[in-house]
Chains A and B, each alone.
Chain A
Amino acid sequence: MMMTRTVMSMVLVLLLPMTAAAQKKGSIELRSVSEVEVTTTNAKGEKEVKRVEAAAAKVIPGDVVIFTTQYVNIDTKPAEHIVITNPVPEHVVYVENSAEGQGMKIEFSVDQGKRYAAPDKLTKTDAKGVSRRASAGDYTHIRWTLGKPLAPGDKGSVSFRARVK
């Protein structure tokens, strides 16, 4: 009993300053949106591609959805080692070469995020034990790593496209 209590209080001590710091001084802010491209014809008869929030649009199997995560440093000091990870959601398939992020190293995982690598270094082993190069459909997670610290007030975004199965 004594032991448990000690461990508990230690955890609390460790956690408190961190959460306090995150809340008081601020940190980075994250905002995610899922959108679809809707093509409309304007008054001049020209086709216009407009992005509409997926929740506010009609999305059916076969449609491509753009997942975007915006990040901003709302702190007063640079944020270092920013890493954003996003699992490829269930019921969608990642669209090859669609991941974007300025100044970001983009890597993928085919094993639920255990290991990340560039697309040409990822392999997938099938049921028969045959290893082959992983395809976009095998990706389970996407990871973006920002190469330099994010200055206060600076922002950016990462995105990828996926097709609804």
Chain B
Amino acid sequence: MGSARATEMKRTVRYILAAFLALAVLVTLMERSASAAGTPAGVTISSPAIATFDYGGIPQPPITASTSFVVDRKINLVVTPANGVYVGVNPGSASQVLTFTVMNTGNSAQDFSLAAVHGADPFGGIDNFNAANVRVFVESGATPGYQTAEDTGTYVDELAADSLRTVYIVADIPGAQISGDISALSLVATARSGGAAGILGGAVAETVGPNDPAAVDTVFADAAGPADGVRDGAHSAASAYRVASAALSLVKSAAVTSAGGQPVTGATIRYTITATVTGAGTAAGVVVSDPIPPNTTAVAGTLRLNNGLLTDAADADAGDVNATTAGTVTVKLGDLNNASPVQTITFEVKIN
């Protein structure tokens, strides 16, 4: 009985504690989100102290003293890639996009100049080529995603404290690249003076030497990225393209199907070709052409795709014999990727 009550009490206390903690966490979160960037630059913080006292038992008028200082400009920003994995691209594709966000975590509105630099692969692979024709554009806000006609700005204009903007690195992938090739690029954003909309403000320098109590000084508080240093008024983050062309593998086998099982004159041989796509990307418009071996003749009406009979004529179905190309079996498999089922083509020939 006694122990039961004690347990009950402990449980109640635990619930109260849990509720208390939950509330505390909530309050902390709310306070943080309310002012992440903090007090605006240029605000004067003053602290007035008041003293009251008695002298000879008589209350005296209060005495005050005050101290104040001006909050300086904190330059801080965070560049974040929108994707945590490679952006798959095909060889020879133009205007491929890496997406980033630039967040102003300082306490005043700033412009940010933008640059894209080649660098190391952030996803652990090896950067082995440079994407060409690299450009940087800012999302206009009109249509989400990179739009060639809309997103033409090349710097972040008047980004308020605590706000973010989407920025795209746009580049072309050379046609010579093969599957697995990687090109990494870092977006570097550098704080510039804000204040005038429509033009990129001048460079921002950290105030060096003694503080000017009358003016708002500038302090860099940014972290280092892959392409910039700590407290340099800039931040960077890397992302990467990976060429994801598909690889098509064909396997051909032969079996004698006539009685006796020997490849003698008059015997029938069935050929089986399997087509499999591996790797990322899509193998577009796959066509399998297989010449009928010399000294053999195709057996009419034996061409099959995935066990479905195809006519020998060039018509609506996927395959033909001797029609597209004389002396050749041709089967159009269309677009295949690594999710497509294995394609199996069979046909029979008779040894002359």
- Report whether B107 and A86 are in contact in the complex, using a CB–CB cutoff of 8 Å: no
In contact, B27 and A135 (Cβ under 8 angstroms): yes
Query: How big is chain B's contact interface, by range?
Result: 35 or more
Contact with A along B291-328 (1 / 0, CB 8 A): 00000000000000000000000000000000000000
Q: B68 contacts the other chain (Cβ, under 8 Å)?
A: yes
| Residues A30 and B107 in contact, CB atoms below 8 Å apart | no
Q: How far is the CB of A35 from chain B (nearest CB, A)?
A: 9
Is there a chain B Cβ closer than 8 Å to A153's Cβ?
Answer: no
Contact A57 B211 (CB under 8 A): yes
Q: Counting CB contacts under 8 A, is A54 at the interface?
A: yes
B72 near A87: Cβ-Cβ < 8 Å: no
Contact residues of A between 119 and 165, Cβ < 8 Å to B: 130, 132, 135, 137, 150, 158, 164-165
Q: Which residues of A contact B43 (CB under 8 A)?
A: 91
Name the interface size band of chain A.
35 or more
Within 8 A of B (CB), among A69-105: 69, 71, 75, 77, 79-87, 89-92
Question: Is B55 within 8 A of A67, CB to CB?
Answer: no
Task: Knowing A18-B60, A82-B51 are in contact, say whether A164-B65 is a contact too (CB < 8 A).
Answer: no
Q: How far is the CA of A134 from the CA of B107 in the complex (A)?
A: 28
Q: Given the complex, which residues of B lie within 8 Å of A67, measured CB to CB?
A: 47, 49, 67
Known contacts being A59-B72, A61-B107, is A84 close to B50, with CB within 8 Å? yes
Please encode chain A, from 23 to 53, with 1 for each CB lying within 8 Å of some chain B CB and 0 for all others. 0010111111110000000000000000001
> Bound state CA distance, A32 and B65, in angstroms?
6
Contact: B53 with A28, CB < 8 Å? yes
Q: Mark B30-64, 1 if CB is under 8 A from A, else 0.
A: 01000101110001011111111111111111011
B55, B73, B210: which contacts A79 (Cβ < 8 A)? B55
CB distance from B339 to the nearest CB of A (A): 50
The reply to whether the CB of A117 lies closer than 8 angstroms to some CB of chain B is no
Given A61-B39, A85-B49, check contact A80 B67 (CB 8 Å): no
* A65: interface (CB < 8 Å): yes
Given A31-B65, A165-B39, verify A58-B51 contact (CB < 8 Å): no
Q: How far is the CA of A94 from the CA of B38 in the complex (A)?
A: 15
Report which of B24, B46, B64, B74 forms a contact with A61, defined as CB distance below 8 A: B74
**Given known contacts A27-B63, A80-B57, A135-B27, A34 and B68 CB-to-CB distance under 8 angstroms:** yes
A-B contact count (CB 8 A): 144
If A21-B60, A56-B210, A62-B38 touch, whether A86 touches B50 (CB-CB below 8 Å) is: yes
- A75 partner residues in chain B, CB cutoff 8 A: 55
Q: In the complex, which of the residues B20, B37, B39, B70 contacts A55, with contact meaning CB atoms closer than 8 Å?
A: B70
A32 to B98, CA, bound (A): 54
Do the beta carbons of B64 and A30 come within 8 Å of each other? yes
**Residues of chain B lying within 8 A (CB to CB) of residue A34:** 45, 47, 67-69
Docked-complex contact B38 and A61, CB < 8 angstroms? yes
Q: How many Å lie between the Cα of A60 and that of B23 in the bound state?
A: 29
Q: Does B51 lie within 8 Å of A30, measured CB to CB?
A: yes
Which chain B residues border A81 with CB–CB below 8 Å? 52-54, 59
Flag if B72 contacts A77 (CB, 8 Å).
no
Partner of A77 from B55, B65, B73 at Cβ < 8 Å: B55
Residues of B bordering A, CB below 8 Å: 20, 23-24, 27, 31, 35, 37-39, 43, 45-61, 63-74, 107, 207, 210-211, 213, 217, 219, 221
A→B interface (CB under 8 Å): 18-19, 21-22, 25, 27-34, 53-62, 65, 67, 69, 71, 75, 77, 79-87, 89-92, 130, 132, 135, 137, 150, 158, 164-165
Instruction: Name 17 extra pairs, CB < 8 A, besides A58-B211, A59-B72, A86-B47.
Output: A22-B61, A28-B53, A33-B67, A53-B69, A59-B69, A59-B70, A61-B38, A67-B49, A67-B67, A69-B51, A69-B65, A82-B53, A84-B50, A132-B23, A137-B27, A158-B49, A164-B39
Please, could you name 16 A-B residue pairs with CB atoms under 8 Å apart, sorted by A?
Answer: A29-B63, A30-B64, A58-B207, A65-B69, A79-B53, A81-B54, A81-B59, A82-B53, A84-B49, A84-B51, A86-B47, A86-B48, A132-B20, A135-B27, A164-B71, A165-B38
